[in-house]
Amino acid sequence: MDVMVGHEKLRALLLESIHPDAVSRLHAAGCVVDTLPSALDEDELIERVRDVHLLGVRSKTQVTARVLEAGSQLLGVGAFCIGTDQIDLAAAAKSGVAVFNAPFSNTRSVVELALAEIIMLARRVFEKNNSMHGGVWDKAATGSHEVRGRTLGIVGYGNIGTQLSVLAEALGMRVYFYDTADKLALGNAKRCDTLDELLEVAETVTLHVDGRPGNSGFFGEEQFARMRPRSLFLNLSRGFVIDYPALRRHLLSGHIAGAAIDVFPKEPKGRGEEFTSELRGLPNVILTPHIAGSTEEAQADIGGFVANKLAQYVTEGNTTLSVNLPSIALPQQPQTRRIAHVHHNTPGVLAQVNSILAEHAVNVEGQLLATRGEYGYLLTDIGVDYPEDVLTRLREMEQSIRLRVLS
């Protein structure tokens, strides 16, 4: 069955080499899907999004208010990753555009890379590897350590931080964590009340914070200086949260013995473009191109998960796990039409909608309303026979943002 918007077939645009499973799922939902291997800048995206109903991005493409304004046909945006800070969520909600992400699908991939890098840094594997490629045989154990018995400090105790905590403890590490939110410690992990407290005890510090603006530059010269001498540092979260020149200085001085960095303030838009960083060329640094969550397994899971959420939204109106609209799911009865109504959350909207339906003798077969901040979302199932004036009246309501009729 093809999905239509009015008399127009639904069109999806997927950027940044999103997994083919996403394409297959959207094709199965009746969408026409266009794909691009790299990110687009704002002006390029504005040109491409004008006739698009569903947009899929990863971490590099910025979905700004200007993009959302140009995409007047947009119904949903999928972030095929964990973070959504690249999307203006408020502007999307204001336009009645639902945003979905994959908050759990690549957690294991990130955790496994973090653990692997902690072990490789502790054993100085990359330094030994580079020496061997240069023809130098250096078997000395100096500066090489087991991770068993060492202290790991996790900054950010969310989905990734908690799973890393459990697996690191299974390796015999002592785990401390710091989070601005009140989080329950797992296993024998110990909570630190302040970041400084964590830096005083941790021999390895790893960042797993989100992309909120308040986290920009929060780990800099002062924090690196407070870290224990010859400690290790990892950042697999966001590129803008640390001061990279400060990290370079502490690596060169030997205060920090090694680092693994997966994210950067400015990243190339696509494969093959030149990567520049003040950390290039340092022998005790592992640099990876934002691949912590990029395993085949994770990308397949993300592709299917987010595409499924987008498909369910356009075909059923369900917003389960939407990050910007109220989250609801209503089983639809046979022989009904579903009205999906995004509106401003003011008192009396439900009464007004039902009053319009009653005036036209339209029976309600099922109904569910949810609100989130200043926005509300209402699903109403009615009989298949109804006057067109019902939809006109509903769209003309002062509170209405977007109204769709689903089969």
Q: For residue 360, what are its two tokens?
A: 């036209």
Contacts of 76 (CB under 8 A, 6+ apart): 53, 54, 55, 97, 98, 99, 100, 310, 313, 314
Q: For residue 328, what are its two tokens?
A: 């609801």
Computed on alpha carbons and rounded to an integer, the radius of gyration of the chain in Å comes to: 25
Cα–Cα distance, 136 to 374 (Å, whole number): 64
Q: For residue 351, what are its two tokens?
A: 């009464």
Cα–Cα distance, 49 to 116 (Å, whole number): 40
Cα–Cα distance, 20 to 26 (Å, whole number): 10
**Do the Cβ atoms of 246 and 259 come closer than 8 Å?**
no
- Taking the CA atoms of residue 386, residue 393, residue 66 and residue 323 in that order, the dihedral angle to the nearest 10 degrees is -60
Per the annotation, the verdict on 290 as an active-site residue is yes
Cα–Cα distance, 3 to 313 (Å, whole number): 12
Per the annotation, the verdict on 238 as an active-site residue is yes
**Residue of 267, 344, 372, 402 marked active site:** 267
Cα–Cα distance, 241 to 251 (Å, whole number): 18
Query: Following DSSP, what letter does each residue of 23-46 receive, concatenated?
Result: HHHHHHTT-EEEE-SS---HHHHH
**Residue of 19, 58, 290, 341 marked active site:** 290
Cα–Cα distance, 235 to 277 (Å, whole number): 14
**Residue of 19, 53, 238, 250 marked active site:** 238
Of 88, 85, 78, 66, whose CA–CA distance to 33 is shortest?
78
Is residue 298 classed as helix, strand or coil in its secondary structure? helix
Cα–Cα distance, 388 to 392 (Å, whole number): 7
**Residue 394 neighbours by CB distance under 10 Å:** 20
Per the annotation, the verdict on 344 as an active-site residue is no
Give the active site residues.
238, 267, 290
